[in-house]
Structure 1
Amino acid sequence: MQTQQTTKATEPQFNINDLKRFYTLPEVSAVTGYSQSHIRAISKTDAFPSPIKLGASKTVWVIEEINQWIEDLIKQRDAEQGAA
């Protein structure tokens, strides 16, 4: 009796942590403590990460960019406190 070998299709391998993920406006507001209107206003400047338009009524921000912006603020504060 011969055994039949089946070849399983190779599924693409990826790390979930490598995927880019987004915050919605209410989530950015919750994370930063800024009002939604303030986030909309500062997003038009170089002082805050730029949003991505996913559709006519859907705007999001890259989580890593928001987190980096927060880290940069903390580093700036620490540097200023260290210099004082």
Structure 2
Amino acid sequence: MRILSKKELRALVLYSPGHIDRLEKAGRFPKRIVLGPCRVGWIESEVLAWLDARIKERDGICASALPEQA
């Protein structure tokens, strides 16, 4: 399992930190993992699955047919 830093996440997702926070709080983005008092990360496989779901939505594949996010 690989953990993404904020910098790596931003490079992969291309959203601002504020927008990522809003999506996460709304339950529409993978949740972060608290690694320490001032350090968080995201599980790479969860973020990639989230991106894959966006691609499938774009391609017109029904979201209800997708596996649920953990």
TM over 0.5: yes
- Between the aligned partners of 2:56 and 2:32, the Cα distance in structure 1 is 23
Total equivalences in the alignment: 61
Is 2:35 the counterpart of 1:46?
Answer: no
Which aligned segments of 4 or more residues in structure 1 are displaced greater than 4 angstroms?
none
**What TM-score, normalized by structure 2, do the two folds share?**
0.80
Alignment identity in percent? 33
Structure 1 runs not aligned, ≥5 long: 1-19
Of 13, 24, 27, the residue aligned with 1:32 is 13
- Bigger RCO (CA 8 Å, 6+ sep): 2
Structure 2 runs not aligned, ≥5 long: 62-70
Residues 26, 36 of structure 1: 8 Å contact kept: no
**What TM-score, normalized by structure 1, do the two folds share?**
0.67
Of 12, 21, 24, the residue aligned with 2:2 is 21
Letter in 2 for 1:32: V
**In angstroms, what is the RMSD of aligned CA positions?**
1.2
Of 43, 51, 59, the residue aligned with 1:62 is 43
